[in-house]
Amino acid sequence: MNKISVDIPEKNTYQSNKYMREVLPGVWIDVYDLIDGFNVTDGGYQHALKKIVAVGQRGHKDEAEDRKDIYDSVVRSNERFDLMRKKCSIVFRNAKQEIWGLTRYALKEKLYNEEK
């Protein structure tokens, strides 16, 4: 049987990562594990979540700045979502009109050919 070797970082490495937290004794995760675990695919929400889990604790911004950044990230993400939804709606509507136009054309052709 083959043995698998896994390098486990020193505890000090975990403590120096501002996103790494010990959630249970000896169990360390970082915000990116959380993002992957919950399949957060929206970039704005990922950015906000990173700030939410360590608001005011990351070293270079205070809580008020982080809260503003969180709000701005979610608002921008929602704007992008709404824009994408509108674009998809337009594409769908145009496709539906094109299909309906082709269907009407095909029906007209069939009726015309039956009259001959």
Summarised one tens digit per residue, pLDDT across range 59-100 is 778 889 999 999 999 999 999 988 888 877 777 777 776 776
**Percent of the chain topping pLDDT 70:** 72
pLDDT of residue 17: 74
Neighbours of 31 (CB within 10 A): 20
pLDDT at 39 over 90: yes
pLDDT of residue 7: 53
pLDDT at 36 over 70: yes
Report which residue type is found at 65.
Answer: E
Average pLDDT over residues 17-23: 80
Say if CB 18 and CB 54 are below 8 A apart.
yes
